[in-house]
A and B are shown apart, each in its own frame.
Chain A
Amino acid sequence: DAGVTQSPTHLIKTRGQHVTLRCSPISGHKSVSWYQQVLGQGPQFIFQYYEKEERGRGNFPDRFSARQFPNYSSELNVNALLLGDSALYLCASSFDSGKGYTFGSGTRLTVV
């Protein structure tokens, strides 16, 4: 079985632009979560979606939004990019998050 896949793997954007990051969960996983990992820190929770509904939102500005599609894949959108948005963005899927997430390899976003 394929794991959690994220695209693209690397991305360079200019301040003020917007970006869309994509995630395909493991087959059968209906829950997708997004995390931001700034260099040298642990991942920070951004969003969780389950069955296409938002189930949780972290302490991120409204420039960050996400959605989940009928096939359970997900997109994370960030508008009006700031230099501080440069980070590794991790997607994770689970059947039951209490049993642990399976993470993708992330998208490295650099804002210049």
Chain B
Amino acid sequence: AQTVTQSQPEMSVQEAETVTLSCTYDTSESDYYLFWYKQPPSRQMILVIRQEAYKQQNATENRFSVNFQKAAKSFSLKISDSQLGDAAMYFCAYRSANSGTYKYIFGTGTRLKVLA
């Protein structure tokens, strides 16, 4: 069975600085998707970035980028130029690419605090 581990329950970053959130996963599959979701106090999960395992190039979305290390089964999220609005819970998620397997497996989350 696949698992997702986020070992940092809480992180803090100064406004305008850079922070990296860690995520490791365990799977025997070769094709899958990885995601980072943000959950602010409003509770709505918001997709931040996604990575397809067959793509070697790391995904980027504006100030957000990932470091995808397939062999190490690591998928970290880097937030550059942190803003107060980035404060939230961040969840890493895995989804198999096998047809018929639709569930997302989430980690336990990392709470990010942004200090003014």
Contacts and interface: CB of A to CB of B under 8 A. Distances in A.
Contacts of A100: 35, 47, 50
A69 to B, nearest CB: 19
B109 A98 contact: no
B106 A104 contact: no
A42 B100 contact: no
A42 B109 contact: yes
A100 B38 CA distance: 13
A44 B46 CA distance: 16
Contacts of A90: 45
B42 interface: yes
A101 B106 contact: no
Interface string A86-112: 001010100001111111111010000
B38 to A, nearest CB: 11
Contacts of B95: 97-98
Interface of A: 31, 33, 35, 40-45, 48, 50, 55-56, 58, 88, 90, 92, 97-106, 108
Interface of B: 4, 33, 35, 37, 42-47, 50, 52, 91, 93, 95, 97, 100-109
